[in-house]
Structure 1
Amino acid sequence: MSTEHHPQDIAVRFTAARAAGQSLPAYPGTLPATLAEAYATQAAAIARWPDAVAGWKVARVNPAFATQFPEERLIGPAFAPNVHRVAAGGTATCPVFEGGFAAVEAEVVIVVAQDAPAGKADWTADTVLPFVKSMHIGVEVASSPLATLNDLGPGAVISDFGNNWGVVVGAEIANWRELETIDVETFIDGQSVGTGKVAIKPGPLGALAFTLNKRAQQGTILKAGDVISTGMITGVHDIRAGQQSRHVFAGAGEVNVRITKAGAAAA
């Protein structure tokens, strides 16, 4: 194994595994040691993937890694075929990589209202309101060909599409401007696996601000219609093909997800 970090080589291995619907036995190279290395690998993988980026997942950086990766959050791309919009009472069908990492996370999803101005990278939770077209209850389906991806830390997670393989956009939270918090509970196969409370301003709005700033720093922008999955609320819940999850947002509805096995991508 190389003693150096080669973004292109790692991107080739991860994207090939994803395209084939296969797992990986180990991280395919030397782990990224910095945010710059991790995002360089992510960019190389995005360039190799044929689908358009339709949004971004956002997650907190584990405090245990804060010194090495000194940003409060991280982002990863959500590709157009992996954005699933479901009506109230509907169920999204989402694939995961058998033998890899697979989890569901209840999240608030923001749809971006307008293209961001280029180069502006000082957004805050107080200034991003013009970019919120709508706010929705939703789910991130996190999945990677590498089962240990999350355990390896933010560098690994960032490098492999942020560990994202689905964003489920559920019913709109029409009154989100009047809410301070929403209580949320996640069930898998009918069993409660986690509860939590999301605070709208520091949570979803803070995640949107971070994403606007990060993309500006990367030399590009968020675009109207992009979806932003803003971070887990009830926890990261392991799941496998054949299982179903239900995510209940008090006063706002629920989102249902059916998990299937990822197969080879269409040619």
Structure 2
Amino acid sequence: MKNARVKPRRMERFKYGNYQRYYSLRNAEHWNDPRIKILERELFENKNVLDIGCNDGTITLLIASKFNPKRILGIDIDYKLIAKAEDNLTYLEKTTEQAKVLKEREEFIKDVRSYPSNFQKFFSLPESLKVPTKKAFRTDIAATSVNFPNNIVFREENYVKSPEEENKYDVILLLSTIKWIHLNWGDEAVTLCFEKIYKALRPNGTFIFEPHPWKSYKKARNRTEKIRENYEKILFKPNEFEDYFVNHLKFELVTKIIPTEGKDKFKRPIMIYKKTSITEQ
């Protein structure tokens, strides 16, 4: 009886798909997400990027550090995951700085050792070459910087209910998130989400989308009573999304790619769309 009471509470807790350490569950190596390997640098370099449903920030951080976007904002409905994302940023920032300082320190010591031994005692390690300590977390993105870690920020936000933005982003990602929007708020929320994304993209902007298959919805349908109710009412199925993007929103499908690494059940196709025109919704 104890387990029967605990399980529903656990399912309610993760009703948004907001699992702690989600990407660690999906992949053995936290910082080795296979999706990064199939996304190209030119999609993000010097671009203004939004990552919707960023979870603990793993993908957002990898994009920020590897692909040099001008700015990237990661949002998630769960404040605990945003706090975890901030912790991950602090960790990665410190690791990056330490690696840089250690390299410079090694070069400094090498130079000092080239001097005669009786001169070496006059040299001490400069303050700038000491391993940095933890810094206070930023609350905003630098206006002009494109260098990690000054190009990234995280924010708690429910995208479905947030104010609309127009022509603000060059790239928007929606990875492994739409199922939870669908199950929690229904068909109307999904179409609203897609329309907001289209409006928020600049002309020729890129939408990177990773949908869940319908069988994945079935597995999650009993998570809460509300989810079960919404599941039974769904008419707009995942296999209809592409037609909606192309024929209603006027996105152009650029490519469809599938990760070749990682566990089989997580090798979902990633669709890359381009906003080809500005259409009044």
Which TM class, normalised by the smaller chain length?
under 0.3
TM-score by length of 2: 0.22
TM-score by length of 1: 0.23
The structure in which a higher percent of residues are strand is: 1
Greater RCO, 1 or 2 (C-alpha within 8 Å, sep 6+): 1
